[in-house]
Amino acid sequence: MAKIVCVLYDDPVDGYPKSYARDDLPQINRYPDGQTLPTPEAIDFQPGMLLGSVSGELGLRKYLESQGHILIVTSDKDGPDSVLERELPDAEVIISQPFWPAYLTAERIAKAPKLKLALTAGIGSDHIDLQAAMDRGITVAEVTYCNSISVAEHVVMMILGLVRNYIPSYQWVVKGGWNIADCVTRSYDVEGMHVGTVAAGRIGLAVLRRLKPFDMHLHYFDRYRLPEAVEKELGLTWHPSVEDMVKVCDVVTINVPLHPETENLFNEQLLSKMKRGAYLVNTARGKICDREAIVRALETGQLAGYAGDVWFPQPAPKDHPWRAMPHHGMTPHISGTSLSAQARYAAGTREILECWFEGRPIRDEYLIVDGGKLAGTGAHSYSAGNATGGSEEAAKFKTA
């Protein structure tokens, strides 16, 4: 018998939904690279349900309790008096989502002597101190590719929203206005613009594919260069460094994992190398950008707009400067937790748990840390170290 602690975001303010806008989801069997979707032995939910909030429980309770395990589900994750902190000593498995991350710092890992598996329901395990997990022999896994296309769609939406000045224009309608001149003084076409992605993995490449029909010039930086056939198909220009790419781009989208090498990558110095009036979209991780440098770049006009759904910490304190900075299009961390994505990452979470409890190998593409070292996707995408420093600031969201 194991205790599983699952940290999920709160239910809707009006309560858990009794009905949904749509009756079903499109049937998808494989991801664009051929990887199959999660294949658990069974699921105990209807795809399209809200699974990522506390009452949704990722559809796991019936399965886990039928196996004799204890499931604790909570949204209370920050501070020394939180439910998560209280349950750490007996937890064998901790499940969290990037959107409402259970920060597993070295200090918290030290308080969890029974912890063997840290599972991310989604993609991106930077809220876990990977070095501490390696040192303790804890397995870290995530549901790779489950919401990559969801995020790519969100990126395209945000690029169009910024460049076309959509949000301020919508707000004039809500206020009862018809202020066309006010709307269009910051509105442009994306056609002919140069757009570049920092990293061209599953998300970055999907963004480029979706932007090609807009007749934009496509650029990318990645330490792993794409096949020549892909570059030719999409008309891509590869750059040997981020600095080389950003200086020619009107729009830059960040799609790289957070680890010590990418933390604060977009600082004052790099932002100064971008074209004046460029747009920056970050759906990767908030800590990849220097928080105060982004605000200053928007205030001075170095950036014409900044959008994204990732903050640091998460949830963002109510006095976080990105809430009030000019010309932004920020949302809570929602890009990868559409109802469509939730069905995939809930199924993937169950697949990983089935493998874990039955002693079967977890898919290599799901592994981040295993056997005391980076493994699988982790070996390709991360570097050893810790990116959780400062996460205790998330507790300010509760007290503000």
Tens-digit pLDDT profile for residues 316-367: 999 999 999 999 999 999 999 999 999 999 999 999 999 999 999 999 999 9
- In one letter, which amino acid is 203? I
Walk along the chain (400 residues) in steps of 10 and give the mean pLDDT of each run: 97 97 94 95 98 98 98 96 97 97 96 98 95 97 97 98 98 97 98 98 97 98 96 98 98 95 96 98 97 98 98 92 98 98 98 98 97 94 83 70
Show the tokens assigned to 273: 């190398």
pLDDT score of 396: 74
101, 127 contact by CB (below 8 A): yes
CB of 75 closer than 8 Å to CB of 31:
no
DSSP code string of 123-146 = S--TTB-HHHHHHHT-EEEE-TTT
Report the candidate in 257, 287, 264 with the shortest Cα–Cα distance to residue 383.
257
How many other C-beta atoms can be found within 10 angstroms of the C-beta atom of residue 222?
A: 17
The whole model's pTM is what? Answer: 0.95
Work out the angle at residue 45's Cα, subtended by the Cα atoms of residues 38 and 114, and round it to the nearest 5 degrees: 65
Give the Cα separation of 382 and 342 in Å (integer): 24
- The DSSP call for residue 227 is P
Output the pLDDT for position 286: 96
Question: What pLDDT, on the 0 to 100 scale, is given for residue 387?
Answer: 80
- What backbone phi and psi angles, to 5 degrees, belong to 312? -140, 130
- For residue 287, which phi and psi values (nearest 5 degrees)? -75, -5
Task: Return the active site residues.
Answer: 147, 285, 314, 333
**Identity of the residue numbered 161:** G
**Does the N-terminal peptide bond of residue 26 adopt cis geometry, omega within 30 degrees of 0?**
no
**What are the tens digits of pLDDT across the range 267-276?**
999 999 999 9
Q: Where do the domains of the chain lie, and which CATH numbers do they carry?
A: 3-146+338-390 (3.40.50.720), 148-330 (3.40.50.720)
C-alpha span between 41 and 270 (Å, rounded): 48
User: What are 252-307's pLDDT values in tens digits?
Assistant: 999 999 998 999 999 999 999 999 999 999 999 999 999 999 999 999 999 999 99
Using an 8 Å Cβ cutoff, are 330 and 301 in contact? no
What is the model's pLDDT at position 399? 57
What is the structure's pLDDT at 400? 53
Looking from the CA of 164 toward its CB, the CA atoms found within 13 Å total 12
